[in-house]
Amino acid sequence: MRGAIIYFSGTGNTRYVSEMFKKEFYKNNIECELIDIVKCNKVNLDYEFYIFGSPIYAEMFPDYYMHWVKVNIKNGNGKKAIIFSTQASNSGTGMERLRRMLEKKGFKVAIQKSIPMPNNYYVVAFNKNSKEEKFNICKEAAKKVSNIVKDFLLGEEYIEEVSNIRLGIGTIVYNFFNKYSKNWAKKKLSIDYDKCIKCKKCSENCPTNNINIAENITFNSRCISCQRCIHICPKNAFLYKGKGFEQYKLEK
């Protein structure tokens, strides 16, 4: 038995949960391959089951992830799937949209569940979790993953229901957020060139190729506000509204 964990992660939360899924299945002598969609543009459909995971951006999975799944995942042939989302709140709407897409492709979604993780969007909004809070949240996330894997292997099913009304509202909210995001980096970010070493780590890891590095660093209008660039910078050289900030790091 072999599974594929197909995920997108901006600052590391979803990657962390994906790695926990891999470890939990391995405890049951089941191999899972981690597939980061930023690094992969083709998936062989010869796995026995699939796990799909993404962060929630303003209620929904980002279009970047949804488009990748739509293009690269063709036919489920009745195979089982797990969908999980990561977000600072208790739940998000995006899983429902993905579930409906996957079921049209022939998948049988057995489990659909939200997994709260520490807030990684505090540079823009909401409170930053303390070190202790982050540790405890990640600990709870590990328990949720363990329970999901146990239920899945026992043939249990659980779908976190999302009403059509909430899905409709979530879609509207996300559409506004998506328009805002396209120029987020261009309007809000600048560079402290006394710190920047032009290592290109930000541009090479940007999922939408939104960052240009020449004499100066500039941005296109393809940003999805994943914030990977600002937290991955080895010198913390990015400025938000002209000010520095503490980079997001997970407490493992």
- Which CATH number does the domain housing residue 227 bear? 3.30.70.20
Q: Which residues of the chain have pLDDT under 50?
A: none
CA atoms within 13 A on the CB side of 114: 19
Does a structural domain hold residue 188?
yes
**Do the domain assignments include residue 66?**
yes
Separation between Cα atoms, residue 85 and residue 83, nearest integer Å: 7
In a domain, 178, yes or no: no
Q: Are residues 107 and 223 in the same domain?
A: no
Render pLDDT for 10-46 as a digit per residue (tens, 0 to 9). Answer: 999 999 999 999 999 999 999 999 999 999 887 877 8
**What letter represents residue 86's amino acid?**
T
Domain, as residue range, for 108: 2-171
236 plus 135 within the same structural domain: no
Are 99 and 112 in contact, with CB atoms under 8 Å apart?
Answer: yes
Residues 36, 64 within the same domain:
yes
The predicted structure's pLDDT at residue 252:
61
pLDDT score, position 43: 82
Q: Answer yes or no: do 109 and 87 share one domain.
A: yes
CA distances from 219 to 8, 62, 171, 202 (A): 21, 19, 26, 11
Domain contains 199: yes
Whether residues 112 and 233 share a domain: the answer is: no
Other residues' Cβ atoms within 10 Å of the Cβ of residue 35: 20
CATH of the domain at 55: 3.40.50.360
The structural domain count of the chain equals: 2
Distance CA 125, CA 119 (A): 9
Domain boundary (143, 171, 199) is at 171
Spatial separation of the C-alpha atoms in residues 245 and 231, rounded to whole Å: 10
For residue 25, being part of any structural domain is answered with yes
Q: Which pLDDT score, from 0 to 100, does residue 189 have? A: 97
| Residue closest to 11 by CA, chosen among 140, 139, 148, 117 | 117
Among 140, 171, 202, the domain-final residue is: 171
How many residues in the chain?
Answer: 252
